[in-house]
Amino acid sequence: MRTAELRRRFASSAVARLATVRPDGAPHVVPVVFAVVDGTVYSAVDAKPKRTTRLQRLANVRVEPRCALLVDHYEDDWSLLWWVRADGTAAVVDEPPATHPGLVALAERHPQYREQPPAGPLLVVTVQRWSGWSSTA
């Protein structure tokens, strides 16, 4: 698939799996909602229930910014399967202003964020490589 198609499929997905590296080298994978603007993927710490606001994913990228986001499409008809991965580096914006392009994009994409804007840090992933696979050409 061409990069434009990879980005289109990625952006059309409702949820991605974010993979980061823990300080001990172990992988850490969590589902995230997101928004894509050009070559950047944004995800925010929001009001959904969590055990703590000190999230492991944020601690991980502060130490090791390399990460990956994966989206996929599954159906029982295996001729329709595909996945797209965005490899990049992440940064944490602890107190983004309400006008931050990432928060604006998240609110445009997710009605829940218009009603209750994320109050926590913003994860900013600069994509360096798009890759993917599709069962059809």
CATH code, domain with 77: 2.30.110.10
Which residues face 41 on adjacent strands? Answer: 36, 125
Q: Provide the residue count of the chain.
A: 137
Give the residue among 3, 34, 52 at the shortest CA–CA distance from 123. Answer: 34
Range of the domain at 20: 3-134
> How many domains, the chain?
1
| 3-class SS shares of the chain: helix, strand, coil, % to 5 | 25, 40, 35
pLDDT digits (tens, 9 = 90+) for 60-98: 999 999 999 999 999 999 999 999 999 999 999 999 998
> Which pTM does this prediction carry?
0.92
Read off the DSSP letter of residue 84: E
pLDDT digits (tens, 9 = 90+) for 98-128: 899 999 999 999 998 888 888 879 999 999 9
Question: What is the spatial distance between Cα 118 and Cα 20, in angstroms, rounded to a whole number?
Answer: 21
